[in-house]
Amino acid sequence: MTETETVPADPGDRAGDAAIHVEGVSKRYGSRQALDGVSLHVARGEFFGLLGPNGAGKTTLVEIMEGLRRADAGTVGVLGASPWPRDAALLPRLGVQTQSSAFFVRLTAQEHLATVAALYGTGRAAVERTLRAVALTEQRDTRVEDLSGGQRQRLAIASALVHDPELIFLDEPTAALDPQARRDLWNVLRALKEAGRTIVYTTHHLDEAEALCDRVAILVDGRVAALDSPRGLVGAAGAATSVLLPPDRMTVAQAQEVEGVDRAVLSGGSLVLETRVSGKVMSALDALGGLDGVQTRTATLEDVYLKLTSPAADGTRHTPQTPQTPQTPQTPDREHQT
């Protein structure tokens, strides 16, 4: 699967309309090629996911988009401007939450946020509104150092949102959250999208990407291995549906003989029938004794992701076939702007 094969004809995907356009971006750290000819566009108002295993290059790519790092080659445009060298007019239009956010730990949550807001010239009403949006109103008078990990995470997100940026970068924002807090944050993020914000979202939670993102790019070894909507990726992968039966319903050998079944195995206390024609298999099972206790599990983004990122039996990884784009060297500058 390649980027060209899977990118849908989306008007927002044209470079001219894009909130972000990245063309042929490469970045090397010593002998390590962190990014290798990455091209992608993020449309205005899009919820765009960046996925990939540890070390795939996600943080490097996001830092280049944010203007924190300089690409070795390629071009990058963010809200119609170049993020490098750092553009003071662009910064207030961006909201950035990183995995290692800095806090004023001796201040209360409200004081911390008010301090961040003041740096942007944003008023008090925005502070209260943002505390409400991330469900920290009750903790507004709690010192940052006394907040739980999840509450700090939400304060980091609030700090990225308080000045009402057009484009928001969120790096694993739900990493420290419990399941309920995670779902609550999803609602905050959906509301941001509905309000027209563009969101670039890095996550290792595939269910989250599937639930929230309009499109996702899967980075593998510094290249775009796939880029499409979660539904498009699952459909294009042709991944199998699993039909689960009670284990005493038939033997594995009998299940293997059911028309349309590719593979039958006993797994997790069920007889699992893998198929690409689930309707046919369900009809056959119905005729063979009914559908009581039969469940189906359709392929998910996680199945596609694992297929793209799992090392092959010979230890190699799937090699993405991303087309190489002409690479335009950028003006030499400092390696890392802070």
Among 6, 26, 39, 60, the residue binding ligand ATP under the rule CB under 6 A is 60
Q: Which is nearer to ligand ATP, 51 or 117 (CB)?
A: 51
Closest separation between CB of residue 308 and ligand ATP, Å? 14
Strand order in the sheet with 73-78: 32-43, 18-29, 73-78
Window 121 to 180, contacts with ligand ATP (CB under 6 A)? none
Q: Which is nearer to ligand ATP, 220 or 255 (CB)?
A: 220
Residue with tokens 């990014």: 35
The answer to the question of residue 6 lying near ligand ATP (CB under 6 A) is no
Tokens of 73: 């080659």
Number of amino acids touching ligand ATP (CB under 6 A): 11
Inter-residue contact 83 to 90 (CB < 8 Å): yes
Burial of 248: CB neighbours in 10 Å, binned 0-12, 13-18, 19+: exposed
The answer to the question of residue 55 lying near ligand ATP (CB under 6 A) is yes
The answer to the question of residue 59 lying near ligand ATP (CB under 6 A) is yes
How would you classify the pairing of strands 241-245 and 295-297?
antiparallel
Among 56, 220, 250, 294, the residue binding ligand ATP under the rule CB under 6 A is 56
Q: Which is nearer to ligand ATP, 59 or 130 (CB)?
A: 59
Closest separation between CB of residue 189 and ligand ATP, Å? 20
Whole-angstrom Cα distance, residue 323 to residue 326? 10
The answer to the question of residue 209 lying near ligand ATP (CB under 6 A) is no
Q: Which is nearer to ligand ATP, 61 or 261 (CB)?
A: 61
Contacts 24+ apart (CB under 8 A), 111-114: 112/144, 112/155, 112/159, 113/155, 113/158, 113/159, 113/162
The answer to the question of residue 95 lying near ligand ATP (CB under 6 A) is no
The answer to the question of residue 37 lying near ligand ATP (CB under 6 A) is no
DSSP at 12: G
The answer to the question of residue 32 lying near ligand ATP (CB under 6 A) is yes
Among 41, 58, 112, 197, the residue binding ligand ATP under the rule CB under 6 A is 58
The answer to the question of residue 29 lying near ligand ATP (CB under 6 A) is yes
With a CB cutoff of 8 Å and minimum separation 6, the contacts of 102 are: none
The answer to the question of residue 263 lying near ligand ATP (CB under 6 A) is no
Cα–Cα nearest to 5, from 332, 296, 254, 235:
235
Among 24, 37, 49, 52, the residue binding ligand ATP under the rule CB under 6 A is 52
Residues making contact with ligand ATP (CB under 6 A): 29, 32, 34, 52, 54-60
